[in-house]
Structure formats: structure tokens, C-alpha cells
Amino acid sequence: MQDTNYTAVPSYQNYYVPKPKPVASGRDKVFAILFLIGCIFTADHGFLGGFNLGYTVCASLLAILYVLYAKGKKITLYGTLCFALAVLSTTVFSLYTEPLMRFVLFFGFFLLLAIAICEMYDIRVFAAGSWRAVADWCYVLFICPFSGIGKTLPALFRKNGPAEKQQGKGGSVLLGILCAVPVLMIVVPLLIRADEAFAKLLSFLSLDSIPRIIFSVVFGCVLFILLFSHAFSTTRRFNDRPAKIPAQKAFLPEAPLLSFTGAISFFYVLYLVSQITYFFSAFTGKTPGDILPANYARRGFFEMAIICVINLIILFFVILLSRREGGRIKKPIAGVCAFIDVFSLLLIATALSKMILYISRFGMTAKRVTTSVFMIALAFVFLALLIRLFCRKFPYMKFIVITTAVISVSLGLADLETTIAQYNVSAYQSGALSRVDTAQLERMGGAAVPYIERLVTDKDPEIAEWAKEQLKERALFDHVSSAPDHDGDIRFFNVTTRRAKKILDKYLPADAKDPLTDE
């Protein structure tokens, strides 16, 4: 007898139902064109323009495109501040030529923009005020640009169903134009050579400009693929990420942490008491004993750097691993950690005073200024951790990011070379410094030129003669090495370079040869 006591499984349950493929809307395609134009101009005016005014304009416009594309998204105060600082950092490239801060702010621009994107597109899985937010920044910077390429590019050329069958084949036409670009790059120069009338028609093109155009288009297209894929995929949520991840509960008991931090704090107290005169003597402008100011300042910074890094690691792990009472760190541990934090701030203050003493005796250098700025930034980090010990909801990571960004952008806008040259020359002429470091002025770029000119009339004939020869050498070098077509090109405009050139033209010898004609 056949058993009929069973439940049949519908065959359709075993079928795979594919997810609908993404399709770019008309707004997406308009922004794609704007992104493409912006990326090509960034490649041409930014990278080929030597990172001057062209880079400032193009990088700012691309950042603004991101904001406009994120229409309707929530923009927090934190995200707005990061975005504003990112755009402000690009102005340094059109004002100054100092390489260190240009290098720092170039990468700082992308980091601040990544943080702003995390806020605008709400793709965070960790709290923005926690150290775990670093994982979100890395995700936006290194994963998002590549993970959405496979879905973004086809979406730009995909139709949105039968209703759009009769619409124009915009995607196919755009693809055909892109394929024709490399062919035209070969054919057009040949046509220019073959016919004079056609050459006059395209007089704005020259054989010398063809490699620049090729690089701008190719590199711009690569940049477009990365940037627009990132923007499109984040708005469409292609990159599946888990929901918001709460902070992990700490697991270490109070006893071992308290004994560990207590032992360290005990020796810090002994060390502070035994060296109290040594540490605070810099506040009075004196050095203890026969110690030279140079050794005094270097030793202070070395002590500060090593101990503060150790203390940062200690505080980080204690805050991360200690058990809580009502969400707060237990008072005995918080008290000991607060002492370590304050001790670190005291070290920073004394080391900074030593560096100020050193600068007042021997003048400024790039290392001395950046060291002092690093001390100030480190003090804000310890201040944030100190507040975090007693206020569990304090967004210490936001505080650290904003203060560090403000300090970096401020240092970039102040310009290291301008600040150093102005201080050293002014201090020398006022008698605060016994001599001026001419070797350092020689190593500087165009920012030092106005201050070297001030030494032309110096009362010391050797300094005055050196200043004249230095300006003459710089004028000759600038005359020979600079390209004449750069003067009227917005891509290469830089305030410091233009100011220096106006001064150097006055010291150019009358018999200087033209760099193009050699006459």
C-alpha cells in the first residue's frame, strides 16, 4: 500500500531569486559627469600643476561635490567641522611652498574628508567619539573605493526596465566616446602636422601638450572610477556592514590594575621630587648648573617623549580593560590614572618651556617649531583622556581629531619657513640673537626671500654682502629654471613664489641670458 502521508515541497522554493541590479538615476549620471570633469581637471591642474592654486580649486570642488551628492543625508556638527577643515587645508597649497606641511596636509585632507563622509553617509559601525572609529576611517579610505567598482560602472550604463527602451542610448554613446579618445590623441596631432588650416583651427593644441592631455585623461578616469564608485556605493549601501557595534565590556578586575598603575605612580612621585629643581628651572629662563641650553632642551624632549608614549599606552589599556561601576571607571583606578595623566601634562609643560628657552637663545628651526607643536598636540590628547576618566560620555576621539586638525591647519597657514625666517631675522636685527643662521636661510625656499632682502642693508658688511650674493644666485637660478609659460598659468600660481619672483627680478644681472634663446 502506497504511503500518501507526506507534504510535497513546492519546486519553486529551491529556485534562486537574484537581487535586483542597481541602476543609476538621471541625477546619478549628471553627478558622474561632474565627477569625471572634476577628476580630469584635478589631474591636470592639481598633479601636473605642481600642487598650487589649481590643486586648491579642484580638490575643494571635488569635496563639495561629495556633499551635494549626499543630498538629504544628515550632516552633524562634527562632520561639518571635519569637512570645513579639509577644504581649508587645501588653501595652503596656493599660498606656500614649504614641503613638510604640504605633505602632512595632503594626507590630512583625505583623512578629514573620510571622517566627514562617515558622518554624512552614516556608514559608521563604531561610536565616532571612541578610538574604535579608526576602523571606520580605514574602511572609508581603503575598502569603499574598490569594493563598489563592480556594481557602480555597470549601473551607469544599465537601463531601468522596458519603459526606457526607447530612450537614448546614453550609456553606449558615452562608452563609444571614451573608446575614441585614445584614437583621437594619435590622429589629431597627425592632422595638425598635415594641414596648416587645421593647425590654425586647433592652435590651442600643440605637440608638447599631447602627453599632458593623455596623462590628465587617463589618470582622471582612474580617479573618477575610485571616487564616484565610492560615492555611489555608499549611497546605495552596496557594502554590507554590520549594525552599530557597542563597546565591549571590560574584564580585568580592580586589584591587578590598581597595583600596576600604583607602582608606576609611586616612582613618578619619587622622580618628580628628586628632580623638582631641574624640571622647573626652564620656567625662570635659567639652566641648572653647567648644562648647555641645547642639551637641556634635547634632554627634556627625550624624557617627555618616551615617558608620555608609555603613559599613553598605560592609560589606553587601563581605560579599555578596567571594569566599570555604572559605566564609569572605579574611583581608585581613575584617581591613579588621573595622576599619571597630570604628571604627563607636567612633563610636557616643562619640556615645552625648555624648548622656548632654546629658541630664545639660538633661534628657530623647523625641528624646534614642529617639536613644540607636537608637545602642544600631545597635551590636548592627555587633556582629552583626563576628561574621559571622569566623564564616560565625553567623545574624546572627536576632541582629539578636531584639535589636532586645527593645530595642523594653523601651522600650515602660518607657514613654517615664513615664521622661521621672519623670527630669526627680526630677532637678529633687534639684538635678541647675536647672529643669524645664514646656512638655514640658504636652504629655505621662496618664503625666505623677503627676509634675506632685509639683510642687504645690515650693518655687518659680511652679512649684507652675503644677502646680495644670495639674492643674485636665486635670481639667476629662477631665471634659468622657470618655464616662461607658467607665469600666466593659473595651475602654477602660488603666492609665495610670485612674491619671491618680484623681489628676485630686481637682483637679476643685466647680462643674464634668456633660458630659451640663450641670448
- How far is Cα 262 from Cα 255, in angstroms, rounded to an integer? 10
Interatomic CA distance for residues 369 and 125, integer angstroms: 38
Instruction: Fill in the amino acid letter for 344.
Output: S
In the chain, the amino acid numbered 168 is G
> In 3D, which of 115, 137, 133 has the Cα closest to residue 247?
133
pLDDT surpasses 60 at 9: no
In this prediction, what percent of the chain has a pLDDT beyond 70? 75
Q: For the range 435-442, what are the long-range contacts, defined as Cβ-Cβ under 8 Å and sequence gap of 24 or more?
A: 436/363, 436/463, 437/363, 437/365, 438/463, 438/466, 438/470, 440/365, 441/470, 442/470
**Neighbouring-strand partners of residue 322:** 252
Confidence category of residue 243, pLDDT binned at 50, 70, 90: low
* Between 320 and 165, the higher pLDDT residue: 320
pLDDT of residue 144: 81
So what's the pLDDT on residue 453? 94
Q: What distance in Å separates the CA atoms of residue 231 and residue 226, rounded to the nearest whole number?
A: 9
Query: pLDDT-derived band of residue 212, with 50, 70 and 90 as boundaries?
Result: confident
Helices 210-236 + 149-157 axis angle, to 10: 100
Lowest mean pLDDT among 24-28, 100-104, 198-202, 449-453: 198-202
pLDDT score at 56? 93
Q: Which of 48-52, 137-141, 267-271, 320-324 is predicted with the least confidence, judged by mean pLDDT?
A: 320-324
According to the model, what pLDDT value does residue 128 have? 84
Torsion of CA 464, 467, 468, 469, to 10 degrees: 120
pLDDT for the residue numbered 6: 46
Q: Is the separation of the CB atoms in 113 and 63 below 8 Å? A: yes
Cα–chain center distance at 66 = 17
DSSP 397: H
DSSP for 183-230, written as a single string: HHHHHHHHHHHH-HHHHHHTTT--GGGHHHHHHHHHHHHHHHHHHHHH
Higher model confidence: residue 129 or residue 377?
377
Query: 128, 118 in Cβ contact below 8 A?
Result: yes
If pLDDT is split at 50, 70 and 90, which confidence band does 287 have?
low
- Residue 255 in this model has a pLDDT that exceeds 50: yes
Residue with the bigger pLDDT between 43 and 157: it is 43
511 class by beta-carbon count within 10 Å (0-12 exposed, 13-18 middle, 19+ buried): exposed
Per residue in 398-436, pLDDT (tens digit) is: 999 999 999 999 999 999 999 999 999 999 999 988 899
Res 92: pLDDT: 95
Q: Is the pLDDT of residue 162 over 50?
A: no
- pLDDT of residue 519 exceeding 60: no
- Whether the Cβ atoms of residue 238 and residue 151 lie closer than 8 Å to each other: yes
User: What is the average per-residue pLDDT within 167-188?
Assistant: 64
486 near 49, Cβ under 8 Å?
no
Q: Are 248 and 323 in contact (CB under 8 A)?
A: no
The neighbouring-strand residues paired with 111 are none
Section 99-114 average pLDDT: 93
Question: Residue 397 — pLDDT band, cuts 50, 70, 90?
Answer: very high
Which residue would you say has higher pLDDT here, 106 or 230?
A: 106
| 374: pLDDT strictly greater than 80 | yes
Taking residues 134-157, what's their average pLDDT? 83
CA angle 212, 65, 399 (to 5 degrees): 110
* Least confident segment among 6-15, 63-72, 279-288, 384-393: 6-15
Q: What is the pLDDT averaged over residues 267-278? A: 77
Max CA pair span of the chain: 123
Contact between residue 103 and residue 408 where contact means Cβ atoms under 8 Å apart: no
Buried b (16+ CB within 10 A) or exposed e, 294-326: eebbbebbebbbebbeebbebbeebbeebeeee
Which amino acid, residue 391? C
| Cell triple for 43 | 589631474
Give the pLDDT confidence score for residue 297 in this predicted structure: 64
Q: How far apart are CA 411 and CA 174, in angstroms?
A: 45
112 neighbors 405 (Cβ within 8 angstroms):
yes
pLDDT band at 57 (very low <50, low <70, confident <90, very high): very high
Q: Which residues are within 8 A (CB) of 508 and not within 5 positions of it... i.e. 6 or more apart?
A: 472, 475, 476, 479
Burial per residue of 129-144, b for 16 or more beta-carbon CB atoms within 10 angstroms, e otherwise: bbebbeebbebbbeeb
pLDDT digits over 432-483, tens only? 888 999 999 999 999 999 999 999 999 999 999 999 999 999 988 876 666 5
Please say if the pLDDT value at position 69 is more than 50.
yes
241 vs 41: which has the higher pLDDT:
41
Question: How confident is the model over 197-226, as a mean pLDDT?
Answer: 74
pLDDT at 355: 84
Write the CA distances from 417 to 94, 444, 447, integer angstroms: 15, 7, 6
What pLDDT was estimated at residue 294? Answer: 66
